[in-house]
Structure 1
Amino acid sequence: MRGLLYGVVGACLMLAGTVNAAERADRLKLNEDHPSEYVVVKGDTLWDISGRFLQTPWRWPDVWEVNPQIDNPHLIYPGDQIYLTWVDGQPRLNLRRGIRKLTPQVRVQPLVQPVPAIPLRDIASFLNDNLVTEDDVLQAAPYVIGGRNESIIAGAGDRVYARGMLLDEAVDQQTLYRPSREYTHPVTGEFLGYELYKVADVSVASIDADIVTLDLRKTREEVRTRDRLLPSQSERIQSVFQPQPGPELKDGVIIDVLGGVAKIGQFDAVALSFGAYEGVEPGHVFAIYKKGEAVKDPVNGEIITLPAERAGELMVFKAFERVSYGLVLNATNVISVGDELRAP
């Protein structure tokens, strides 16, 4: 009986130790030099503010969403004061609203904008102007065959003609896109889609058989023959993000860097080898692992690949069917195309 009692007590202690270890693993870790309070200034982001306190700044919903003082963490303004407290052994960020003086007079001034989740200026063009589509959609889209007076290049205010059937005849406002690159998976070789960038906003003036007459309303570049006509994207551009761990993926890698830079660093936008088909959504966070270098064993001459090492984190801000765009929010090493992506 005594042996049985000791066994039960030992099992309980082991279970408690396992639970405590799990709690410690899930406990949010603070930076060693974290402040006790911080006053928000113009230009801050939620990621920046959390990064002053937390080693994993993308977990700001864990310290804010259970806090009744911060009912909406996306509505924090310059001048507000963030201060640190502890609740049940976990850090919590609390909020004191900044002083806003009111005077009984009429004045006109721009509305104060809340602090964004991430630096939107670094992704604005990719949110609005880039599109990744499948091959059958691109091939079915009408294409520009020329302009008035036999011109092959046109700008805002001009009229051009496209050939083909509209993908959505109910939409009068259409967009001309130009294919820029083809994405294939570097590991599997699978075709992932064509990236297009917006050339012009157009209005459909008339349709005669398979000839579509288009009036150019706003152009980013000169319209040329072969530019493709697609319905304008009507969904609202997402600018508020709720970070959460991304799913476990097989062969998830960075496949391209947007914006024409060679090496990838903080606040660079990148294309990723997965999308909505794999369950990825805007707000998903992934850890970046730099590929291990290949070295020669000095004893037997064998080529050995060193283990991959963590090099930063990124967050998905736009997801297409098989491709996503992500923004690198932390980089501890040089990041390159082909580096692995894992759940954080």
Structure 2
Amino acid sequence: IKNPNLIYPGDTIYFSMVNGKPQLSLTRNPQQAQLATTCILKEEDFKNGRKDFALTKDGKLKPCIRESDIEKPIKLIPYHQIAKYLSSPKIVGENELNQTPYVVDIANEHVIAGAGNKIYVRALYSAPNSEYMIYRAGDTFIDADTNEILGYEARYIAQASLQQAGDPATLMITESDSEIRIGDRAMPKIDDEISLNYFARPPETPIRGSIISVLGGVSQIGIDNVVVIDKGSMDGLLPGHELDIYENSGVTRDPYSAAKNATVRLPDELAGMLMVFRTFDRVSYALVMEATGPLHILDRVQTP
């Protein structure tokens, strides 16, 4: 069928033999017959000055549907930018990482290890082929307003498979993001529920926080960078929530003030927008979706 776009739900297609030749015929669904003949106006009709319009039996104009192209496609979330942050790193308590088994040595007298190397870890007694994540202590996340410690980053280093349980146990590195060192920590791999579909919307409650860190080893923050903000699920944030970013304009001296060494705090300026894609209790990971210029640590974020 060369023009299947003219077939509508409820239509009936008949196959028959006429004079020994196969033939298709169509019977319209009465409810859809009117839709098939509906007047449709395209954008070029307005530009070219269309004059022929559908008329009723008594000569009156029929209503027409105005058809227009979508000018801008919906922006997709760049999955490759956030993939490695969906399951790792982790946010842990003050002593949680220090209480986990650690790498005590590396096979074949290597100083560092990578994918394909064996490592020895203290006191692991799980079943063979159990999966483990190798972490290293990362940043300490601190509330920008109160200086309260919100959590400790367990930075993802590698993934390993348990070859032989014991003390020490033998693990084979299967994937690595960077080199494994003696003293790195091993934690069981937990398959968290990962959402790949994000319904972008503002939070239901007012949120006001700050960017407190940027992930990925970059110093300048821009579009598609992953940042950490000092608000989490306990504050009402969920994956998909969008927040505006305001540049911290700082203060300036007022040389004409009667007060000596007077300063004026400048208003924060709207500088971009981010979307939260992973939440913890008190912090969240977010992707910068829009930016009018370079963003910085301690720039403010808030409900649009």
Alignment of 1:153-172 (within 5 A): 153-164=112-123, 172=130
Answer whether contact 1:256 1:272 (CA < 8 A) is retained.
yes
Q: Partner of 1:243 in structure 2? A: 200
Q: Given the two structures, how large is their TM-score scaled by the length of structure 2?
A: 0.68
Alignment of 1:194-213 (within 5 A): 194-208=152-166, 210-213=167-170
> Which of 113, 116, 136 in structure 1 is aligned with 2:95?
136
Q: Partner of 2:3 in structure 1? A: none
Alignment of 1:166-205 (within 5 A): 172-205=130-163
Q: 4+ runs of 1 displaced by more than 6 Å? A: 168-171
Higher-Rg member (1/2): 2
Q: Partner of 1:277 in structure 2? A: 234
Return the structure number with greater helix share.
Answer: 1
Letter in 2 for 1:295: T
Q: Partner of 1:340 in structure 2? A: 300
Q: Partner of 1:145 in structure 2? A: 104
Alignment of 1:315-334 (within 5 A): 315-334=275-294
Q: Structure 1 stretch 126-135 or stretch 329-338: which is displaced more?
A: 126-135
- Cα distance in 2, alignment partners of residues 184 and 285 from structure 1: 22
- Cα distance in 2, alignment partners of residues 116 and 289 from structure 1: 22
CA separation of 1:149/1:262 partners in 2, compared to 1, >3 Å: closer, same or farther? closer
Letter in 1 for 2:144: P
**Residue 116 of structure 1: how far off its partner (Å):** 7.0
**Residue 130 of structure 1: how far off its partner (Å):** 2.6
CA separation of 1:215/1:182 partners in 2, compared to 1, >3 Å: closer, same or farther? same
CA separation of 1:218/1:293 partners in 2, compared to 1, >3 Å: closer, same or farther? closer
Alignment of 1:1-344 (within 5 A): 83=70, 117-164=76-123, 172-208=130-166, 210-246=167-203, 247-250=205-208, 252-297=209-254, 298-300=256-258, 301-344=261-304
- 1:125 counterpart SS class: helix
Answer whether contact 2:111 2:181 (CA < 8 A) is retained.
yes
Show structure 2 runs of 5+ residues with no match: 1-41, 44-67
- Cα distance in 2, alignment partners of residues 155 and 83 from structure 1: 48
Answer whether contact 2:124 2:165 (CA < 8 A) is retained.
no
- 1:245 counterpart SS class: coil
- Cα distance in 2, alignment partners of residues 131 and 137 from structure 1: 11
CA separation of 1:172/1:153 partners in 2, compared to 1, >3 Å: closer, same or farther? same
Letter in 1 for 2:119: V
**Residue 273 of structure 1: how far off its partner (Å):** 0.8
CA separation of 1:188/1:146 partners in 2, compared to 1, >3 Å: closer, same or farther? same
Show structure 1 runs of 5+ residues with no match: 1-35, 38-80, 85-92, 96-114
Answer whether contact 2:121 2:168 (CA < 8 A) is retained.
yes
- Cα distance in 2, alignment partners of residues 317 and 286 from structure 1: 12
CA separation of 1:165/1:320 partners in 2, compared to 1, >3 Å: closer, same or farther? farther
Answer whether contact 2:128 2:163 (CA < 8 A) is retained.
no
Letter in 1 for 2:234: Y
Answer whether contact 2:211 2:298 (CA < 8 A) is retained.
yes
- Cα distance in 2, alignment partners of residues 213 and 237 from structure 1: 29
**Residue 150 of structure 1: how far off its partner (Å):** 4.2
Give a deviation string over 1:177-217, Cα, whole Å, max 9, x none: 12232222232111122223322221223333x53332222
**How many equivalent pairs are there?**
235
**Residue 228 of structure 1: how far off its partner (Å):** 0.9
- Cα distance in 1, alignment partners of residues 219 and 273 from structure 2: 18
Identity of aligned residues (%): 33
**Residue 147 of structure 1: how far off its partner (Å):** 2.2
- Cα distance in 2, alignment partners of residues 293 and 152 from structure 1: 46
Q: Given the two structures, how large is their TM-score scaled by the length of structure 1?
A: 0.61
CA separation of 1:158/1:170 partners in 2, compared to 1, >3 Å: closer, same or farther? closer
**Residue 221 of structure 1: how far off its partner (Å):** 2.7
Provide the alpha-carbon RMSD of the alignment: 2.9
- Cα distance in 1, alignment partners of residues 179 and 218 from structure 2: 24
- Cα distance in 2, alignment partners of residues 82 and 234 from structure 1: 42
Letter in 2 for 1:229: A
CA separation of 1:207/1:328 partners in 2, compared to 1, >3 Å: closer, same or farther? same
